[in-house]
Amino acid sequence: MFHGIRAVLFDLDGTLIDSAPDLGAAADQMRVSRNLPSLPLDRYRPMAGAGARGMLGVAFGITPDHEEFPALREEFFRNYEQRMTQDTFAFDGVAQLLDQLRARGFAWGVVTNKSMRFTGPLTQAMPLFATAGAVVGGDSTPFSKPHPEPLLEASRRLGLAPGECLYVGDDERDVVAGRAAGMPTVAATYGYLGGTPDVDRWNPDARISSPLDLLGLLENSAAP
């Protein structure tokens, strides 16, 4: 389906790794410490891709314009730092997908809105990311998705034109950013989806329901 692709860029949370258990636990710890009842993981999971904004929205029903949000966000960050890889794992099929991409000559990388404060230690702690050619966090450039700059930065680090890169993500922002960067996009429908699972309105170039589905889309691509 895709031709001339030489690299695949991925969103992180909800696309390569299931970090919802650790993100949700970090927020829920804040509820419990305030004598509020614990919430089940399935309340947090759909918004895990939105980071602190999503987790604090579920835990306390607040938005970033709330006066207490900055202090609560830092408390959440500290909780999360203490358990980033405790219950976080790659989705089934991701390791095999990355092995197959490399075997077929594709480069790969990560473009996430998670800040490097967390992206750096997390990717360094997980052997899965040892072969990534680029890891771009939410603060690696002056902009974050849906702005295209993080994706353009990843393509520069890989030494490729944007159109030679495919972007895979589980949020509408990923599709918007990829389109703005001139990259074809694939929606990972097994991910968190930002609580809005109507992927049709995102208008991605393709969709996959499991990581290994991506290989079929790249079957005839002109990878070196």
Active site residues: 11
CA atoms of 48 and 195, how far apart (whole Å): 9
Helix (H) or strand (E) holding 140: none
E runs forming strands in the chain:
7-10, 17-18, 89-90, 107-111, 134-136, 165-169, 185-188, 206-208
Amino acid at 94: V
What are the Cα distances from residue 161, in Å, to 91, 137, 164, 215?
28, 20, 5, 21
User: Rounded to 10 degrees, what is the CA torsion of 166, 198, 200, 21?
Assistant: 10
CA atoms of 49 and 191, how far apart (whole Å): 9
CA atoms of 55 and 14, how far apart (whole Å): 14
Provide CB contacts within 8 A for 60, sequence distance 6+.
30, 31, 72
HSE, side-chain direction, 13 A CA sphere, residue 188: 31
Q: Which position has the token pair 């473009």?
A: 111
